[in-house]
């Protein structure tokens, strides 16, 4: 491995530390008693108090016998004042410094510590003459030596420039992105708040968090292309799950009142700023409920999440302000198409739908049935127009093989998709619990597969057996956590809310 000049210098500093008897990677616990953000926010309580703080050295201004450094800990950054007379043992006039204590400032601090190194500071909190809250260092401890130089982001008038801002570099080296770019860590803290709030709402409602298999022998519960792998011991092909639905419904059959799972799904499909092949989804199933109840539950859930994350129900997403305050508009999908296009697709034949879809530029229409064609038409003409949260309801039966038939509208199902800022955020049903109807729906899906639809479902015979034991009336929903985080943090691409998005192999 060829090293840069700076990397060689850092390695030399590392060896010099060891020669001096300093362990650059000590194993001892370093007890932290304060954090940058807490000290700054509560200065009156900390003023003059002793503190032990640890973090990464982010800047160093040496001014002879005294210096200022900026330390970055897990909560933010704080200035530290470092004086030779405080951290270096006294040296008699004419004496040569020989101990580490005698060389702590002139050698260790000034020459051997680099930007990016982890250090511990013991001292007291004060405010400088310039009014900046700082820590007056009385002792300095080396905690970890950094062997690679950090990209240094410069700021002018509060605007970053000459920084670490190439998206490919940022996503590949998220660890560097988190260190040097302000606001990146905050995005992922907000994502954690979304999941924590969601769990709290579900748990308080009495629902049980569960875990279901990721490796499955049948890729079911959704219409998508799966990733295929092979289990050597069983000598069978298996699939990374595309959804948790069918296993969660088995648990409703088994007697749970409500179950949910927050976990990874995998779909071997396209990648863009709204799609990643592995993504986080929550699915919730509750017995004795229907899709009308689920709409009300969902809008209340999202309102609580918005407030928990941002302190308000409104979020700025690009040029749009999205308001998550309940209630949300409810609009049947066929009415939505008619409202946006003037076309009454409800009474079109399959061939008429196919012809219309072709005029919109939809590809591979010959492989699609009536429901898939309506879905594509909606996607091309309507989906992107719904900015405020809107429940699109009552999908055709061909589009919804796991959904109960509508109680009053022939040919439709009790399903909704929640559209926000022009994209689907959630998908929910009054779940189909008639095993005979369900079997017939699976058969129809197999016919679509025979026509070339590689996203059509296959028959899950064990799930059918579970339904035959009886599943109570149930409502279920799936919400994309990544897309929800995208909205709640106002980001423009899904890669910004995934710590480690899928990428092409790096060219070495």
Q: Span 5-150: which CATH code?
A: 2.40.50.140
Give CA separation, 361 vs 270, 275, 380, in Å: 18, 21, 9
Please give the pLDDT value at position 398: 82
Decide: pTM greater than 0.85. yes
Please give the pLDDT value at position 154: 66
The torsion of the CA quartet 393, 394, 399, 400, rounded to 10 degrees, works out to 100
**Section 121-150 average pLDDT:** 97
**Section 266-278 average pLDDT:** 93
Give CA separation, 444 vs 244, 370, 433, 469, in Å: 22, 12, 17, 23
Please give the pLDDT value at position 448: 76
Mean pLDDT of the chain: 94
Please give the pLDDT value at position 13: 97
Please give the pLDDT value at position 177: 96
Residue (of 326, 328, 348) closest to 337 by Cα position? 348
Least confident of 40-44, 156-160, 494-498: 156-160
Residues 291 and 296: their CA atoms lie apart, in Å, by 9
Residues 24 and 249: their CA atoms lie apart, in Å, by 54
Beta strands 258-266 and 278-287, pairing class: antiparallel
Please give the pLDDT value at position 283: 98
Phi, psi of 37, rounded to the nearest 5 degrees: -65, -45
Please, are residues 433 and 372 in contact by the beta-carbon 8 Å criterion?
no
Please give the pLDDT value at position 220: 86
- Residue 96 scores a pLDDT above 90: no
Q: For 214-241, how does the pLDDT look when each residue is reduced to its tens digit (9 = 90+)?
A: 999 998 888 889 999 999 999 999 999 9
Map tokens 């999202």 to a residue. 302
Residue (of 165, 87, 168) closest to 120 by Cα position? 87
Residues 36 and 212: their CA atoms lie apart, in Å, by 41
Structure tokens at 365: 């229409």
Q: Counting beta carbons within 10 angstroms of the beta carbon of residue 155, is it exposed (0 to 12), middle (13 to 18) or buried (19 or more)? A: exposed
Sign of CA dihedral 37, 43, 46, 51: positive
Which secondary structure element, helix H or strand E, spans residue 332, and what is its range? strand 329-332
Residues 244 and 53: their CA atoms lie apart, in Å, by 44
- Residue 277 scores a pLDDT above 70: yes
Domain boundaries, the chain: 5-150, 184-212+241-328+388-497
Phi, psi of 158, rounded to the nearest 5 degrees: 80, 5
How many Cβ atoms sit within 10 Å of the Cβ of residue 405? 18
DSSP character string of 130-144: T--EEEEEEEEEEEE
Residues 202 and 340: their CA atoms lie apart, in Å, by 36
DSSP character string of 430-479: EB---HHHHHHHHHHHHHHHHTT-TT-----HHHHHHHHT---SEEEEEE
Please, are residues 269 and 228 in contact by the beta-carbon 8 Å criterion?
no
Q: For 2-58, how does the pLDDT look when each residue is reduced to its tens digit (9 = 90+)?
A: 899 999 999 999 999 999 999 999 999 999 999 999 999 999 999 999 999 999 999
**Any idea what DSSP says for residue 409?**
S
**Section 139-143 average pLDDT:** 97
**Section 464-491 average pLDDT:** 97
Please give the pLDDT value at position 329: 98
DSSP character string of 200-240: HHHHHTT-EE----SEESS--SSSSPPPEEEETTTTEEEEE
Asked if the domains 5-150 and 184-212+241-328+388-497 are classified in one and the same CATH topology, the answer is: no
Q: For 433-464, how does the pLDDT look when each residue is reduced to its tens digit (9 = 90+)?
A: 999 999 998 888 888 777 777 667 788 999 99
How many Cβ atoms sit within 10 Å of the Cβ of residue 370? 20
Residues 309 and 304: their CA atoms lie apart, in Å, by 9
CATH class label, 184-212+241-328+388-497: alpha beta
Sign of CA dihedral 304, 38, 25, 116: positive
Residues 418 and 326: their CA atoms lie apart, in Å, by 13
Give the side-chain half-sphere CA count within 13 A for 19: 11
Residues 278 and 197: their CA atoms lie apart, in Å, by 22
């Amino acid at each position: 491995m060829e090293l840069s000049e700076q990397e060689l210098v850092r390695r030399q500093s590392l060896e010099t530390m060891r020669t001096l008897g300093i362990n650059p990677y000590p194993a001892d616990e370093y007890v932290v008693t304060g954090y940058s953000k807490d000290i700054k926010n509560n200065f009156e309580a900390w003023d003059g108090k002793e503190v032990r703080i640890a973090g990464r050295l982010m800047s160093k201004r040496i001014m002879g016998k005294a210096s200022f450094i900026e330390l970055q800990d897990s909560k933010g950054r704080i200035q530290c004042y470092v004086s030779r007379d405080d951290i270096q043992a006294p040296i008699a006039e004419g004496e040569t410094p020989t101990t580490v204590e005698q060389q702590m400032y002139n050698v260790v601090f000034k020459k051997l510590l680099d930007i990016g190194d982890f250090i511990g500071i013991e001292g007291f909190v004060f405010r400088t003459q310039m009014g900046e809250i700082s820590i007056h260092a009385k002792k300095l401890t080396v905690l970890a030596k950094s062997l690679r130089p950090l990209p240094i982001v410069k700021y002018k008038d509060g605007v970053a420039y000459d920084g670490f801002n190439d998206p490919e570099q940022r996503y590949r080296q998220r660890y560097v992105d988190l260190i040097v770019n302000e606001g990146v860590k905050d995005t992922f803290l907000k994502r954690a708040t979304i999941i924590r709030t969601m769990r709290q709402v579900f748990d308080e409602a009495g629902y049980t968090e569960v875990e279901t298999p990721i490796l499955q022998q049948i890729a079911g519960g959704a219409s998508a292309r799966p990733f295929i792998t092979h289990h050597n011991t069983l000598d069978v092909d298996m699939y990374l799950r595309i959804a948790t639905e069918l296993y969660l419904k088995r648990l409703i059959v088994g007697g749970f009142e409500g179950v949910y799972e927050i976990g990874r799904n995998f779909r071997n499909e396209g990648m863009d700023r709204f799609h990643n092949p592995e993504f986080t989804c929550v699915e919730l199933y509750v017995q004795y409920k229907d899709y009308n109840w689920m709409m009300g539950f969902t809008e209340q859930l999202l309102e609580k999440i918005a407030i928990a994350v941002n302190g308000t129900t409104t979020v700025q997403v690009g040029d749009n302000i999205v308001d998550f305050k309940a209630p949300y508009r409810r609009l049947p999908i066929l009415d939505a198409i008619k409202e946006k296009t003037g076309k009454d697709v409800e009474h079109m034949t399959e061939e008429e739908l196919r012809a219309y879809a072709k005029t919109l530029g939809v590809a591979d229409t010959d492989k699609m049935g009536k429901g898939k064609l309506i879905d594509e038409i909606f996607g091309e003409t309507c989906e992107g127009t719904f900015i405020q949260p809107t429940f699109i309801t009552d999908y055709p039966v061909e589009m919804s093989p796991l959904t109960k038939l509508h109680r009053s509208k022939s040919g439709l199902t009790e399903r909704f998709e929640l559209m926000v800022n022009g994209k689907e955020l959630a998908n929910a049903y009054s779940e189909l619990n008639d095993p005979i109807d369900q079997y017939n729906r699976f058969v129809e899906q197999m016919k679509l597969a025979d026509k070339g639809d590689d996203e059509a479902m296959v028959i899950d015979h064990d799930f059918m057996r579970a339904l035959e034991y009886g599943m109570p009336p149930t409502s279920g929903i799936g919400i994309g956590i990544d897309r929800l985080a995208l909205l709640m943090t106002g980001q423009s691409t899904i890669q910004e809310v995934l710590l480690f998005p899928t990428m092409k192999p790096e060219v070495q």
